[in-house]
Amino acid sequence: MSHEWRYCSLPGLNEYKRSRLFSAHFNHMTPTPPRTLTIAGSDSGGGAGIQADLKTFSALGCFGMSAITAITAQNTLGVTGVHAIPADMVAAQIDAVASDIGVDAAKTGMLGTAAIVEAVAAAADRHGIRKLVVDPVMISTSGATLSDDATSQAMVRLLFPRAVLVTPNLPEASYLLDRPITRRADMEQAAADLIAMGCPAVLLKGGHLADDGPASAAGGLDDLLMLADGTVRVFTHPRIDTRNLHGTGCTLAAAIAAQLARGDALEDAVGKGWTTWRRRLLPVPP
């Protein structure tokens, strides 16, 4: 029997522990993969949610795990159904992987109910999950509502202070701040106001910006990273002419979480996350 099959047949081995055995046996210098957890909804179309997150984790060399918060019926045209998972089952999923495999970094996506937010916050404390990226998913790309006021308020109260980074787009920031944010000139104050709500750092994504500002005039857009001390870094990107926008926010937050799990500092993780995001959208050369 080959070494591979001998290890695969060992009872009670999960995939992460099996990967560690392979590393130890075949290459003593190969590090075990960083462990990254997504806490989000399932997308039956595979373009967003946990499916997009797990693909991103794998592409960046991480061992991906999931705690599913909701089951959705959706495709590239929109969301036709949502079924929330009970909060205690979400907590049980997190407990199962964190207590056995461990979590180097995690990200949240669609949470669905205030009870799930409370369960996630408690589990993060229980397992010492410190590298937490919160993507405050409230509205899908197709326009479906994925969060109510109670859930959003619980997210602000319980998850924002526990996160290392919150990654709203402009519609989500507008919802949280109860005012429209449509211009580049609005972004810095919006980020500062989100920091004041308890976020240690905010990545405010400018993909929904109106055509104003220097970046837009040059055919690009700005995304603004603000830290709690007021430090600001602007990421300027050319706009990409594409219809493949479904799951872009999930992919970016997952890529940042993966880079944090790999040990990168926050600014470096955001920069590398954007590189991963752009590769997802750029057409494959012939």
pLDDT above 80 (res 14): no
> What's the pLDDT score for residue 21?
55
Picking from 73, 82, 74, 75, the residue whose alpha carbon sits closest to that of residue 116 is 82
Q: How far apart are CA 32 and CA 187, in angstroms?
A: 40
Six token digits for residue 60 = 């960046």
Domains (range + CATH), the chain: 32-281 (3.40.1190.20)
Query: Which pLDDT tens digit goes with each residue over 72-116?
Result: 998 888 889 999 999 999 999 999 999 999 999 999 999 999 999
Average pLDDT over residues 122-142: 90
pLDDT, tens only, 197-211: 999 999 999 865 765
pLDDT value at 140 more than 90: no
On the question of pLDDT at 239 being above 50, the answer is yes
Q: What is the pLDDT of residues 33-65, one digit of tens each?
A: 999 999 999 999 998 899 999 999 999 999 999
